[in-house]
Amino acid sequence: MAADSMVQLVSYLTAQQPYAIVGTPESEWVDFKSVPPQGPYDLSTDKGKFELAKDVAAFSNAGGGLLVCGFKAKKKQTELYEVAEKVTPFDKRLVDSTRYKDIIAEYVRPLLKVKFFWYDHPEDDPEVSGHYFVIEVPALPEADRWAVVTRGITDDGQLIKNSWTVPIRNGDTTAFLPQDEVYRLLNDGLRARRGATPAVSVPAADRAEARDALRADLAMEETPVLFFQSVPDHPHGLLPGMYAHGGLRDVLSNQDTLRDAHAFNWASLHTHPEPREGGLLLTMAARGGLLVDAYGAVTGAAAATPDMLGWAMEYYSSDGARRISVFVLTEITLEYFRLVDRHVLPLVDSTWTHRIVASNFAQAPARTLAPGEDPAFPLRGAPQPATSSNWNHSWKALGDPERDAYEALRHIYALFGLDVTTNPFTDGDRVNTAKLQEKWQ
């Protein structure tokens, strides 16, 4: 087997299926690192520091990627690129993530929001044991190109101060931007500065028109709504098999939800997904709905009313405010990513952007949210009002439903001036499905 995208590779690691990654070639989006005794990068040496900074900058310049530590890669005579050929999980003590952050912050410009993740090797494997370390490098926006390493390096591995390099990913290797190209870019930048100021464009992943269309279909133009959106950064045409047997229409009609369609998910007992301009529309009466466009982009809408996000909370509101149920919010968020990460993202070979938009949450009567669980009586908890009626935030899709749900909740909680750790159904950097299930069992 092999992983053909970042989403699929992360999904294999999350499911503790590292052997499914064996056979994956290194490319513009992935590089495999075996682990010597000093760890993936020997940060006690100048060469190790430079290698880490170089690899991070190169992926950022190439549209983002993953540095996957714990696999041995090798190029065979019959293959063009190095291919992951062996799992080599290792002890977490070999990586000091704080040290990694510090090196990247010191040697790479501009500052990049690099993320670090650990994944476990299956405990029942008699051959090897340990963990995998993944460095997730975001794409640098075109307007901010290029990422620069603020040091050069000598042939004997010593850093050179007052020098810099521009690494670029070239297939399964890293090269450096030639001097002639650097000169041209500098001059192009100077000429652009002398010209007119370019107009600011809306990010491609922010599909406001899709939110407006879904809101109109649901007759929720004046209703506070929490939107979820997932958009491929590089769509490749019509989504394959949208209406085919076993395709996305069938998936939406027969959703694999944690509970039945009476619970807080995106299934419906009374309606079926309808064709809509090459895509699909699924409505759920007054609760919300889903819109999938012809290219795979998904928009979900959940009403912030007693019919959905405020379910059973109207008794605990004061001054006309509408309190949001922590349990309902968490379940509907997790169910969205269980559906989209598992069944839509794999259909398009691209990086994806997830987005949440809380619309009209601060309009009177304001939506409120409290830390902790839902109240057992009216005075329990300290509800906080929404601080904006146009809350709009995005992140690169991780492909792991529990982690993407956590990211969504982290942004939603910030709207109310709360930390996501006050949500009782989170655990570390993810939503804990088992904790949710304990609630209704």
Domains (range + CATH), the chain = 6-194 (3.30.950.30), 208-440 (no CATH)
pLDDT digits (tens, 9 = 90+) for 382-427: 789 999 999 999 999 999 999 999 999 999 999 999 999 999 999 9
Q: Please report which confidence band the pLDDT of residue 238 belongs to, taking 50, 70 and 90 as the band edges.
A: confident
**Confidence at residue 200, expressed as pLDDT on a 0 to 100 scale:** 39
**Confidence at residue 57, expressed as pLDDT on a 0 to 100 scale:** 94
Using CA atoms, how far apart are residues 432 and 128, in angstroms rounded to an integer? 27
Using CA atoms, how far apart are residues 111 and 24, in angstroms rounded to an integer? 30
Q: What type of residue is 353?
A: T
**Confidence at residue 18, expressed as pLDDT on a 0 to 100 scale:** 97
**What whole-number percentage of the chain has pLDDT above 70?**
88
The separation between CA 417 and the C-alpha centre of its own chain, rounded to angstroms, equals 22
pLDDT digits (tens, 9 = 90+) for 278-321: 899 999 988 999 999 998 999 999 999 999 999 988 665 555 56
316, 306 in Cβ contact below 8 A? no
124, 17 in Cβ contact below 8 A? no
42, 105 in Cβ contact below 8 A? no
420, 407 in Cβ contact below 8 A? no
**What whole-number percentage of the chain has pLDDT above 90?**
62
Q: How many other CB atoms are there within 10 angstroms of residue 208's CB atom?
A: 13
**Confidence at residue 181, expressed as pLDDT on a 0 to 100 scale:** 64
**Confidence at residue 203, expressed as pLDDT on a 0 to 100 scale:** 47
151, 160 in Cβ contact below 8 A? yes
Q: Please report which confidence band the pLDDT of residue 104 belongs to, taking 50, 70 and 90 as the band edges.
A: very high
**Confidence at residue 201, expressed as pLDDT on a 0 to 100 scale:** 39
Residue with tokens 């990627």: 65
Q: What type of residue is 80?
A: L
Q: Please report which confidence band the pLDDT of residue 239 belongs to, taking 50, 70 and 90 as the band edges.
A: confident
Identify which has the larger pLDDT, 33 or 241: 33
> How many Cα neighbours within 13 Å face the side chain of 310?
23
Which tokens sit at 13?
């690691």
> Quick one: which of 112, 12, 96 has its CA closest to 59?
112
